[in-house]
Structure 1
Amino acid sequence: MREEDCIALLRRAGCSEGVIAHCRAVRDLALTYASDGLVDRDLVAAGALLHDIGRGATHEIRHAEVGGALCRSFGLDEAIVAIVERHIGGGLTADECSLLGLLPRDCMPQTLEEKIVAHADNLVKGTRVIVMEERMMHAIALPRRQRKRICRLGLEMELFR
């Protein structure tokens, strides 16, 4: 998917220019992790650009679920939908989703592309790239298992940089 097409979908979904700028910054960082031949760079770029498409409707945690539904309604590939739905922190289990009032389904990033986008999003605050230590300071209120998951994802993804 071309960048222009992704940006048009973000605008169609009601995303602000700030959200679009964040998505571009996440895309730029994500591509630095996508140099390995095993990674689909086009999928990483499109998924990163669209990861927050649900923020056109809500800025709550359910933006990932809303974004996935939007992507499906736009007829996008399920690989992009999965990136959008699984980009929260280090991922959410079905039980965690249920406890948060989301559909009870596994939203753990599984593919390299999903993991790269989730990790890049963890390291972009607004449009500013932050270090893992700062990310963990922002995550201090999260349950311990979710903080550990964010750390493990970061360690795994740093191998691709």
Structure 2
Amino acid sequence: MREQDCIDLLRRAGCSEGVIAHCRAVRDLALTYATDPLVDRDLVEAGALLHDIGRGVTHDIHHAEVGAEMCRSFGLDEAIVAIVERHIGAGLTADECSLLNLTPRDCMPRRLEEKIVAHADNLVKGTRVITMEGRMLHAVALPRRQRKRICRLGQEMELFR
């Protein structure tokens, strides 16, 4: 998908210019991790641009689930849908989804492209890139298991930078 096609979908979904700017910043950072020939750079770009499409409807934790459903309704590739659905923190287990009143499904990033976008999103606050330490300060209220998962994802992704 071209960048403009993604931006058009974000606008169609009701995303603000602030959300669009954030998505562009996440895309820019994600592409710095997508240098390995095994990584589908086009998928990383489209997934990063669209990861917060659900914020056109809600800004709570449900935005990933809502965004995935929007992407499906737009007929987007399931690989993009998976990035949107699995980008929260370092992923959520089906049990964690259930506890958060989300559909109880496995939302753990599996593919490298999914992990790259989740990690890049963790490191972009608004449009500003923050450190891993800064991210962990923002995650202090999360359960220990989720904080550890964010750290492990960060360590894994730093190998690609």
**TM-score, normalised relative to structure 1:** 1.00
Give the superposition deviation at 1:42.
0.1
Counterparts of 1:4 and 1:121, CA distance in 2 = 20
Root mean square deviation of aligned Cα: 0.2
Counterparts of 2:145 and 2:29, CA distance in 1 = 25
Counterparts of 2:150 and 2:4, CA distance in 1 = 31
Structure 1: 5+ residue runs without aligned partners? none
Matches within 5 A, 1:114-125: 114-125=114-125
Counterparts of 1:129 and 1:37, CA distance in 2 = 25
- Counterpart position of 2:97: 97
Q: How many residues align?
A: 161
- Counterpart position of 1:112: 112
Give the superposition deviation at 1:51.
0.1
Matches within 5 A, 1:76-155: 76-155=76-155
**TM-score, normalised relative to structure 2:** 1.00
Counterparts of 2:108 and 2:151, CA distance in 1 = 14
Deviation string, structure 1 residues 59-101 (Cα, Å, up to 9, x no partner): 0000000000000000000000000000000100000000000
Give the superposition deviation at 1:119.
0.1
Give the share of equivalent positions with the same residue, in percent: 87
- Counterpart position of 1:40: 40
Secondary structure at 1:88 match in 2: coil
Give the superposition deviation at 1:46.
0.1
Runs of 4+ in 1 over 4 A off after TM superposition: none
